[in-house]
Chains A and B, each alone.
Chain A
Amino acid sequence: MQSLKMKQFANFKWSVAALMAIASVMILVGTASQAQHENGSGKLVGTAAGTDAASQVMIDNFVYSPVPLTVKVGTTVTWINHDDIPHTVDSTQGKFKSAALDTDDKFEFRFTEAGEYPFYCRIHPKMTGKIVVQP
């Protein structure tokens, strides 16, 4: 009897563990897709709570920083414009293109492949930056 209960309990424990594992994966996927944007062509994003500073590019005084920003595959990078003049984020390879970002506007893009991604501001083309995505 005891052993049966224990087995049931063990099964129960494993089921709970399995459920928890599935739940965690779902939460992770959910978070990721929230940050994901299929439409990379100029969709503005509101405040992204919990954005990791390590995946941010600041824009101020006509400068992107840091350059380059190095992240891992799967990271969503957030560009934030702190300048008092609008700027854009345009991939030189045509992979992403933001709308005009006014002060405090943000743009996000999720990098799914390793590589180097140079970008620039199409309003002030002297402003250039780069995202380096590592596997």
Chain B
Amino acid sequence: MADKKQDFIDQRLHDLNHDGVDRRGFLKCMAWAGTGLVWTLSAGVPVSRVFAKGAKKDAAKGGDFTFVQISDSHIGFDKPANPDVTATLQVAIDKINALPERPDFMIHTGDLSHLSKPSEFDTLDQALRAAAAKQIYFVPGEHDMLSDNGEQYLQRFGKGAKGTGWYSFDHKGVHFVGLVNVANLKAGGLGSLGHEQLEWLEHDLKGRSTSTPIVLFAHIPLWTIYPDWGWGTDDSEQALSYVKRFGSVTVLNGHIHQVMQKVEGKISFHTAMSTAFPQPAPGKAPSAGPMKVPADQLKKVLGITDVNYLVSGKSLAVVDSPLDGSMSAGSGE
């Protein structure tokens, strides 16, 4: 009986529309907000897992390694939505440090600072020193490009990167690409990668075996979520055309301060929450600005969204966990 019920749930959680995503399961798990997102690569398919105390180890699933994504720390922001963004960043880092398995590295998907001030970059640097994972990869957000077209960001966080801060690296057989879609934005437009970066990307991917898992990360979402609020990238289609041939592609973004996901063929898209402040769901407020919540709920909406998909080998699961430590009843694997 229990098996039948589990099968029913599994079926509902899997492939309802044969597109790798079950909306009901997804929406159910959207109830929790979160900041840090832990990914495990298992057989080349990114699988995230619960990022909180008490999480079961993923060793049984044969995860090769884990990494954590944080985003939108906005150091320097001090308005009512969160008067102390450094403190909430520190809570997220504490949670990362408390993980049963230390992540191999961290990725910060941009808006490190709020106003690109040197003091803000300093504070972020300081806070990240407490992270046990010493290797951190960054891509800039538009808030990091304010005073000098991103010169300071490049010097401090983009060493060795090309152009406005793009680069790639390999880790245990997975190819990671950091992209910049927040430079030279045109009036009335969305995010933009630009011709030079697209050429570089095409060249960077050329010749790689299609079985190489690919992870792209950039600040603004690489798929169109809500154009009215600028939540999309004008020329991302071209970038995605270069990765279409690969067997497993994961796109990690930030910018919108909430979790959203989409699966399109073999490409899975996911946006992370902010460690600083939440933003409203598309169209649910007059603008995309910081969303105030009662103080005692702030850590809930900066927590991690726990999307509890079982690993099928084809669809990827995204698991987040909230800063306040709460977890879904059925979370973990």
Contacts and interface: CB of A to CB of B under 8 A. Distances in A.
A120 B188 contact: yes
A102 B115 contact: yes
Contacts of A88: 146
Interface in A103-122: 103, 118-120, 122
B186 A125 contact: yes
Contact of A125 (B80, B116, B188, B288): B188
A61 interface: yes
B230 interface: yes
A63 B287 contact: yes
B147 A100 contact: yes
B200 interface: no
Contact of A61 (B115, B143, B230, B289): B289
Question: Main secondary structure on chain A at its contact with chain B?
Answer: loop
Interface stretch (A11-19, A23-31, A79-87): A79-87
A120 B115 CA distance: 18
Contact of B290 (A63, A85, A100, A120): A85
B185 A62 contact: no
Interface string B134-145: 000000001100
Interface residues of B, number: 25
Given A86-B114, A100-B147, A122 B289 contact: no
B290 to A, nearest CB: 6
A118 B286 CA distance: 23
Contacts of A83: 287, 289
A92 interface: yes
A103 B81 CA distance: 14
A124 interface: yes
Nearest to B114: A86
B142 A128 contact: no
Contact of A118 (B187, B189, B190, B289): B187
A126 interface: yes
B228 interface: yes
Contacts of B61: none
Given A86-B146, A119-B187, 20 more contacts: A61-B287, A83-B289, A84-B289, A85-B289, A86-B114, A88-B146, A90-B187, A99-B146, A99-B147, A100-B115, A118-B187, A120-B187, A123-B142, A124-B142, A125-B185, A125-B186, A125-B230, A126-B227, A126-B228, A126-B229
